[in-house]
Amino acid sequence: MAGGEFTLVRSLPRTPWRGRRPPVRLLVRALLDGDRTEAVNVCDRFLARTGRRVAVFADLLHPAQYELGDIWYRGMIGEEQELQAAALVGWLVDRLPATPTASVPAGWRCMLCLAPGDRHELGARMFALALEDDGWKVELADLEDLEDLAAAAERARPRLAAISAGHLPSAVPLARSVAAVRELGLPVLVGGAVFNRSADLWRRVGADGWGADARVGTVLARRLGRA
């Protein structure tokens, strides 16, 4: 790492958070340092202010992930440090307490799956927890092939099918699978990094909605479930 790049990373704030905006950079600094105590402190204080776990996901952890990825892409940190920071984000997600609101009727079920072979599961995990806070029962489907999606949906008969993808070599197989699920009368919601990078991709695969983060996804799930 060059000296100038090191200076840029070290310029992230260490001062206590007192503002109204989410303390994303304060959290990123703690993640880069591997400082669990400070990372927990930042998340817990933000949760105390917002009262909702989904707010921590959407306003703090998701933007921190994006900034970490950008710092890594610009060569300011190495892959090992980026992976360690990402692992700490996953640990933070798992330790956050539930903040249930039960906004949907009892018994609503969502079948959630990752694109086969996709290792980017953290966003899907945050979305599943946000759905559970909202009152959904989430069923995780382990697919070996996208062609299995419709059969899994037909067996589960959820109110909603949701697909998360961080990487998608081709949109064609997913579009075929989404069409097959919709023929069953089930709405399909998509999300994940690959859709965030291409804002019109969700329309091209024929989905009913695109959740850019856990909060947006939860709101759309609620709407699609009521449609």
Last residue of a domain, one of 95, 123, 146: 95
Question: How many Å apart are CA 52 and CA 126, to the nearest integer?
Answer: 13
Residue 101 domain-assigned (yes or no): no
Same domain as 213, residue 117? yes
The reported pLDDT for the residue numbered 173 is 93
**Residues spanned by the domain of 164:** 109-226
What number of CA atoms fall less than 13 Å from residue 1's CA on the CB side? 19
**Which residues of the chain carry a pLDDT beneath 50?**
1-13, 15
Q: What is the pLDDT of residues 180-202, one digit of tens each?
A: 999 999 999 999 989 999 989 99
Question: How many Å apart are CA 28 and CA 194, to the nearest integer?
Answer: 22
Same domain as 212, residue 171? yes
Give the 3-state secondary structure of residue 182.
helix
Q: What is the pLDDT of residues 93-123, one digit of tens each?
A: 999 999 999 899 999 999 999 988 877 789 9
The whole-angstrom distance between residue 2's C-alpha and the CA centroid of its chain comes to 32
